[in-house]
Structure 1
Amino acid sequence: MSSETNAAVEETPLSTSWRPLALVGALTAIFGVLAVVFPFITGVSISVLLGMLLLASGFVHVAHSFSAGNWKGAIWQVILATLYAIAGIALVVNPLFTLATLTVILAAFFIFNGILEVAMGVGLRGEQGRGWMVASGVLGIVVGALIWIGWPSTAIWAIGILFGVNLLSTGLSLIMLAMSGRRSNEESASLGTKPRGA
């Protein structure tokens, strides 16, 4: 193998940073598993977090009102801050209502996104893989419909489980990337180079 190939192997970004990537992936996957195991706690936590973010945005608008160029701009900033604060307090005080609302939004998203995927798959006539897109769309419609039909009881688990599954898949993908970087690291070492991540 040429020296240019050796250099390319040595300079692969993942080969020098696979350890922290693997750690982040493992932690993300663990949090995903916990979210799936405890979906209700996860859903309520997400609702409270959204409320706190809205409250923080309200404080930002209040602070920005003092630097507004004129009194009209300051008034609008105060109005926005009040709206954010009211919404944030409502989410923090009553996270179950927020959880139920988010579940309805999630069900609607799955249904409409599924319809779009089916339409796109049907439109891709003669293209390979169109069946997967149609299947994904149908699955999304079914999941959305099941969440909608079971509402409000589905609010107890839907947000938490889906959030957990997303974290788990993200964590596993990061671990796979880290393992790929580790293989590149080992390959560069076997070629007699000195990888920076060793």
Structure 2
Amino acid sequence: MEKDNPIDFQELQLSIIDYLQKHWKVFFWEGVFFVILGTLAIVAPHVFTMGITIFLGWLLLIGGILQVVRAASIYNMPGFGLWFFMGILQAVIGYFFLKEPGQGSLTLTLVVTVFFALEGLAKIYLAFMMRPIAHWGRILFSGITALLLAIVVWAGWPATGLWVLGLLLGINMVLLGWTLITLSLQHKLSE
């Protein structure tokens, strides 16, 4: 029987291991960097939350302006009005995120909270659908965790909106950093 997928996963894994062994120091120091940065985000989550909001504000503002300019330069294209409207909307939201980053962070946190709540409910439902399959409880645990996170953030609203994004970013960076450090050391030791 022929494989539909031309990728040889065993060869790919060996290639990745070889690369990790040769460049383990790069992954180690990248991990250290992420642990430090993540720790700073956990210690001062409000600063990182504002940083996320301001960064996103600039992305939206610049992207919106570019979209308006592009739409205006080819105004006879089908859907011009929708492209123009989306560019204006994007630029306006970006402007408001920059003008009022505190309000922007509240908005972003609310969106993330709704996402976690919906994701949690979907995973819980999916887990019960998968119940006869091995390890279905992991999906259930992930869904319950996401739902609980949404409830905790919502219960502390609006105060949580000023720091939760920075905290989540910090936790994510610390976990990534530790993963990179342990991965690099594991492959250093196997030399």
TM-score normalized with structure 1 length: 0.78
Q: 2:144 matched to which residue of 1? A: 138
1:177 to 168, 176, 183: 183
How many residue pairs get aligned? The number is: 178
Deviations 1:108-143 (A, max 9, x none): 122111112211221222322222222222222122
For the 8 Å contact 1:22–1:179, the answer to whether it is kept is yes
Aligned-residue sequence identity (percent) comes to: 28
Shift of 1:12: 0.8
- 1:115 and 1:75 map into 2 onto residues whose CA distance is 37
For the 8 Å contact 1:28–1:171, the answer to whether it is kept is yes
Q: 2:3 matched to which residue of 1? A: none
Q: 1:156 matched to which residue of 2? A: 162
CA RMSD, aligned part only? 2.5
1:122 to 120, 128, 131: 128
Shift of 1:98: 1.0
1:112 to 105, 110, 118: 118
TM-score normalized with structure 2 length: 0.81
Q: 1:34 matched to which residue of 2? A: 40
- 1:114 and 1:71 map into 2 onto residues whose CA distance is 41
Q: 2:55 matched to which residue of 1? A: 49
Larger CA deviation: 60-69 vs 174-183: 60-69
Query: Structure 1 stretches of 5 or more lacking a match?
Result: 1-7, 187-198
Query: Structure 2 stretches of 5 or more lacking a match?
Result: 1-13
Shift of 1:66: 6.9
1:24 to 17, 30, 46: 30
